[in-house]
Structure 1
Amino acid sequence: MKFRILAAVGVIALAGTAITGCAGASASGGDINELTFMFRGGDAEKAAYTDAIKAFEKDNDAKVKIIMTTADDYNTKLKAAITGHKVPDVFYVGPGDVQSYAKSGVITDITKQVESAPNFADIWDYGIDSYRYDGKVQGKGAIYAVPKDLGPFSFGYNKTMFEKAGIPLPDKDKPYTWAEFAEVAKKLTQDTDGDGKLDHWGTGLNVTWNLQSWVWSNGGSWLNDDQTEVTVNTPEFAEALQNFADLKSVSPSATEAASLDTYQRWMKGEIGFFPVGPWDVPTYEKLDFDWDLIPYPVGETGEPATWIGTLGIAVSASTKNPDLATKLALYLSTDKTAQQSLVDAGVQIPNLKSMADAWVTSSDLPPANKQEFLDIVKDYGRALPANNTYSGEWYDEFWKNIQPVLDGKVTAADYVKKEQPAMQKLLDKAIQDAELG
């Protein structure tokens, strides 16, 4: 299944690949007031950045060359630029790249400038902490980027489908239990045209992006607290994976998803529950049905859980104008006018806490329950499991052979027991690589 992978990749980095050797020269020209800014995104984001950068250029007597790529092409083109010693002055980085880029001298420590910024205390803590690294532990120490955005990965539902099926709407303040969720999803799974084939389904969740909510809400985890041990082989984790796999009866089959993936089926109004990130809002605004946000279904803890994606804006260690480059990064991340342009474009929530409540009440873009996005950032969202490890190979390993579990051919308990040693071996390698630098 291929649900909104391009967008999701836009706010996370599953694995940071180590870049060795000197970062090399900046991509900017010889003029001290010229900068290059490289990012990935869509038309709405490009338009917002273009307007914001025009204001920055005017205020700082500077010229900024914009380099935009698709989400698919970004990492390849950035790493080609690094290898070719033409690193952009300012560019996007994911949390998973911070350790390798910092150790190899691609990005520079901007702690002093960031912490002395007038609105430093107004930035979401998660947004800053995601780009801290003290040389050993990510999330602590020096700041190597400022948040481009925070992407709370929320849960949406098709309100129109509920109303047509005569099912009471979900409570935005009281999450479904797993059992309640499965029962509602079963009622939404229907043959609406009477041809003997299902054409509406309760859900169509992609395991790579949604299992985290099930695992964490059930008290499970991928790693121990100091991130040295893979902990997937526990009853809590296995129960969560099995419950998720058992949703196959209320989801399009592999064959049905191959002919039209679950993201497209959601867009057509054929799926009842589906994930929603802030980056989806400009597209979802055009849907032919009403939708809104609710908390994810809850496991044994009784508490909802999900992840917060993020991208950072970093400064090249080889830029010829570090002060101006850092000023641009901070401007794009924290200037209220620049933030308003991005928020109005519907591609993100505000990076500044002081803007958040006004955004919830004043924005006329969907969803109606924008508060759910903020609740995730404030209360129960967390980083993806591989965001703070030197390499994400150990995490990627978990997904490689998971299909038989989803097909009901292998139990979740057997799968996690088999996968844990292979994942641990790769995590040990990542820890060793981090120590070697």
Structure 2
Amino acid sequence: MSTKKITVFIFLLVTGVFLLTACGGKDQKPVSISFYRRGYIAGSNDPISSTVDAAVAAFEKRFPYITVSVVGVPYSTEGNAQMEAALERGTDINVLSLYPAMIPDLARRGVISDIEPYMTEADKQDFYDNGMQIATVDGKVYAWPIWVTSVAIYGNPEIFKERGITPPTIDDPWTWDEFVAASKQLTFTRADGTQVYGFSAPSRPNEIVYLPIFYMDGG
């Protein structure tokens, strides 16, 4: 199946689901949709899985002719590959959760459809502007930004004091050069052999904590 055909197939499925939910009639034909959800584990009581199960149960109660099958996708490179493979097949995926960084590529390849026909200006006002910007590609919105997180950098005041460094403030922030210089000065080995690092962050696959720093620096 070509990419163009996959695009049309996915678009029709998603469109059909939304039209059915909009109508809400009692004589609708049975419909089954697949929802690929990051972090979902069937039968688990973790926050993501239990919230998804509750949402699906409420949705199916409201629209009894629609059956939702949830496919769990791990937060990993393997999960990315699983999602990509499903999108390429285009036969068993209707709704999905995505990392923001994946949206531009998938949208421009025509693999996912924009949701403009189903989102009014009033709907858009329910979300923060930066959330909508992340979900927008070439002027069209491709996703509901349901999970927007904040990232902050924490400092250890005791180590700052130990190295004779004054932390930055809102009124007197550091430049990037000052940040780098301070990080180097805060990286040292104590007399007892303890290694101290001036700056660190997780580097697991798909880790997003670095991204705000890149964005702030114009990256």
Query: Which category describes the TM-score, using the shorter chain as reference length?
Result: 0.5 to 0.7
**Contact 2:73–2:83 (CA<8 Å) still a contact in 1?**
no
- Which residue of the partner structure matches residue 88 of structure 2? 83
Gaps of 5+ in 2: 15-28, 41-45
Structure 1 residues 163 and 88, CA gap change in structure 2 (3 angstroms): farther
TM-score for both structures, normalised by structure 2:
0.62
| Worse-superposed segment, 79-88 or 99-108 | 99-108
Q: Percent identity?
A: 23
Per the TM alignment, residue 203 of structure 1 is displaced from its structure 2 partner at its CA by: 1.9
Structure 1 residues 96 and 33, CA gap change in structure 2 (3 angstroms): same
The 5-angstrom pairing of residues 239-318 of structure 1 reads 276=209, 306-307=214-215
Distance (Å, rounded) in 2 between the aligned partners of 1:78 and 1:177: 39
Distance (Å, rounded) in 2 between the aligned partners of 1:94 and 1:87: 20
Distance (Å, rounded) in 1 between the aligned partners of 2:108 and 2:203: 38
Structure 1 residues 143 and 87, CA gap change in structure 2 (3 angstroms): farther
Distance (Å, rounded) in 1 between the aligned partners of 2:199 and 2:146: 31
Deviations 1:342-394 (A, max 9, x none): xxxxxxxxxxxxxxxxxxxxxxxxxxxxxxxxxxxxxx697xx6xxxxxxxxx
- Which residue of the partner structure matches residue 127 of structure 2? 123
**Contact 1:22–1:106 (CA<8 Å) still a contact in 2?**
no
Letter matched to residue 57 of structure 2: K
Structure 1 residues 192 and 77, CA gap change in structure 2 (3 angstroms): same
TM-score for both structures, normalised by structure 1:
0.35
Alignment of 1:20 with 2:3, yes or no, is yes
Per the TM alignment, residue 111 of structure 1 is displaced from its structure 2 partner at its CA by: 0.8
Letter matched to residue 92 of structure 1: S
Find the partner of 1:157 among 155, 158, 179: 155
- Which residue of the partner structure matches residue 54 of structure 1? 57
Per the TM alignment, residue 22 of structure 1 is displaced from its structure 2 partner at its CA by: 1.5
- Which residue of the partner structure matches residue 343 of structure 1? none
Give the CA RMSD over aligned residues. 3.9
Local SS of the residue matching 2:69: strand
Distance (Å, rounded) in 2 between the aligned partners of 1:190 and 1:93: 39
The 5-angstrom pairing of residues 269-418 of structure 1 reads 276=209, 306-307=214-215
**Contact 1:38–1:68 (CA<8 Å) still a contact in 2?**
yes
Find the partner of 2:73 among 62, 69, 73: 69
Per the TM alignment, residue 167 of structure 1 is displaced from its structure 2 partner at its CA by: 4.8
Local SS of the residue matching 1:147: coil
Number of equivalent positions? 189
**Contact 1:110–1:144 (CA<8 Å) still a contact in 2?**
yes
Per the TM alignment, residue 172 of structure 1 is displaced from its structure 2 partner at its CA by: 4.5
Distance (Å, rounded) in 2 between the aligned partners of 1:381 and 1:149: 23
The 5-angstrom pairing of residues 209-228 of structure 1 reads none
Q: Per chain length, whose mean CA-contact separation is higher, i.e. which structure has more relative contact order (CA < 8 Å, sep 6+)?
A: 1
Local SS of the residue matching 1:156: coil
Local SS of the residue matching 1:149: coil
Gaps of 5+ in 1: 1-18, 206-261, 265-274, 278-295, 297-304, 308-379, 386-437
Structure 1 residues 204 and 102, CA gap change in structure 2 (3 angstroms): closer
Distance (Å, rounded) in 1 between the aligned partners of 2:182 and 2:155: 11
Per the TM alignment, residue 99 of structure 1 is displaced from its structure 2 partner at its CA by: 5.4
Distance (Å, rounded) in 2 between the aligned partners of 1:48 and 1:143: 25
Distance (Å, rounded) in 1 between the aligned partners of 2:198 and 2:117: 50
Local SS of the residue matching 1:37: strand
Distance (Å, rounded) in 1 between the aligned partners of 2:161 and 2:55: 41
- Which residue of the partner structure matches residue 267 of structure 1? none
